[in-house]
Structure 1
């Protein structure tokens, strides 16, 4: 029986991809193996660094490799695609143009989640790579929803957020989340941010590992996983109905 297959454009980064798959499985209401979502995953760590390119266009461009992985996922049978990397959504529009199946948008889904509880013109903190912050893509989605984005100070970004991502999570090394959580707390309490977005899937690894998750944190990867499950449940009947009828003689 063909059901909608989730394609995951992974490797950006590899550990975040593994956490994302686990997150989708945990969120799927299943009583047996067969109730889970079929997935095809290309965990391609050879995709050039997204932040490096966004900050300096003389660096290798990730887009051609991202498009290749999308084509591979479609060829492998993916009916819809998720990209568990916020920074890669800088390239979202050309990726969608290259795709022949729906590509979910982690930023758009996260903003939609926030709008369910946020008041008009609320301030929203954003914890993300410098590539995401400098590109302004996430801020644009928030602005379109009449939400004001607040980012960490340059010192916090350079000395806390980026080292946690690049010197610990991406290297699969131990980390201490204390300073990271302090930046989030400051955005919430001192900057008046009702919500603080965990807007990098490496930071989502930190979020998923927290024993106690502050209520004001919204993890973009967690939101994307919810949307993957929702898409699957919305479309399962359609894909079954689209199966050809085979006459039995």
Structure 2
């Protein structure tokens, strides 16, 4: 297979399926051959990312992702995406393993946020405790010149319940819990925009659309960028590489 990309997923599987659905729905294909070529690595047995970040005595998820990156690199995809925000804890180490470009979902998402909401000053972030502790989104938002609010412990506990008890546990978002989290972030903490810093939250956004809130959905954004890049590489490798550099620099 030529002109394809690799998706490192399975963290969790339902959220990865959401990414694939978005990719399929947005391709605009009218026949089989117009869809994207990609390899999906649904590595469901990767150890829990947040557990390790919060307690290094727990199993590390790095060896599993290292194996995935090295295996896929041998197939020479045009680029790779990793559809788990918390897994970006090891982004630098994983990118150092290969010459294949690995898209940095938080970086790409915050660049897109700045284009979508140029006047937003205070950005709410909801994510796993691991992503919050890692500061990966917080640092990206601050580097973009915006203020960050993480809410309080009550809202962060609600977010973990939504991610682990609802979406991971049952495959379904709790609509009332999701809406209340967003309401608190907007009304009580003054967030102009809320970043959904976990792919389970992206699945919640797919299942329970709430247009009354200004949201940044990194998984939705990375699906769009994957599609954009996949089409560019099909036109020519030169086009793909040029657009890839633009996406990584935040210009596309």
> TM-score if structure 1 supplies the norm length?
0.89
How many residues are aligned here? 240
1:199 is aligned to 197
1:192 match: secondary structure? coil
Residue-by-residue CA offset, 1:139-190 (whole Å, 9 max, x unaligned): 01111111111112101212x1111111221123544221222121222233
8 A contact 1:2–1:240 mirrored in 2: no
Q: State how far apart, in whole Å, the 2-side matches of 1:177 and 1:153 are.
A: 20
- Please point out which of 202, 206, 209 is paired with 1:208: 206
Q: Cα distance, 1:90 vs. partner?
A: 1.1
8 A contact 2:86–2:128 mirrored in 1: yes
Give matches, 1:53-202, under 5 Å: 53-119=52-118, 122-158=121-157, 160-202=158-200
8 A contact 2:51–2:58 mirrored in 1: yes
Correspondence 1:221 to 2:251: no
1:61 match: secondary structure? coil
2:59 match: secondary structure? coil
8 A contact 1:207–1:213 mirrored in 2: no
CA RMSD after TM alignment: 2.1
Structure 2 residue runs of 5 or longer lacking an equivalent are: 241-252
> TM-score if structure 2 supplies the norm length?
0.88
Q: State how far apart, in whole Å, the 2-side matches of 1:211 and 1:120 are.
A: 23
Larger Rg: 1
Q: State how far apart, in whole Å, the 1-side matches of 2:15 and 2:207 are.
A: 12
Q: Cα distance, 1:65 vs. partner?
A: 0.9
Moved more, 92-101 or 69-78: 69-78
Q: State how far apart, in whole Å, the 1-side matches of 2:8 and 2:66 are.
A: 10
2:232 is aligned to 234
Moved more, 174-183 or 24-33: 174-183
1:82 match: secondary structure? strand
- Stretches (4+) displaced over 6 A: none
Residue-by-residue CA offset, 1:91-120 (whole Å, 9 max, x unaligned): 111111112211111101111111114346
Q: Cα distance, 1:211 vs. partner?
A: 4.3
Q: State how far apart, in whole Å, the 1-side matches of 2:77 and 2:202 are.
A: 24
